[in-house]
Amino acid sequence: MRETLSYRCPYCDCDVQVGSPCPGCVKPAPRHPPAEPGKKSWQQDGAGDGLDLPDNDFDYDDFVAREFSRAPHRRLAVAWYWWLLAVFVLIAFLATWIFHF
């Protein structure tokens, strides 16, 4: 005959079998009412309709201009001297490679 091991719960002082949750401490599973027929789980009711949220005529460009800056962003470009440096390095690399052989 197999002996069942048990211990006393340190929180509620109930006898608990090893490997099972404490019947005094575990919360019962919530019981949800059945969903209305024809209503999908992702659909919402009309409770949030009167929250006075912004209308559909929201101007995003105006919002960005007011929040972040009034000046337009400057164009990010590489300065001419970096292009000149890149060409110079490329010529030096090719000259070293060609004259090496």
* Contact between residue 23 and residue 15 where contact means Cβ atoms under 8 Å apart: no
The pLDDT value recorded for residue 72 is 60
Strand partners, 8: 15
Residue range 43-89, pLDDT digits in tens = 766 666 666 666 678 788 888 877 877 566 666 688 899 999 999 99
Residue range 2-38, pLDDT digits in tens = 778 898 988 888 899 998 888 888 877 667 766 556 6
CB neighbours (10 Å) of residue 65? 13
Q: Got the DSSP string for 71-93?
A: SPPPP----HHHHHHHHHHHHHH
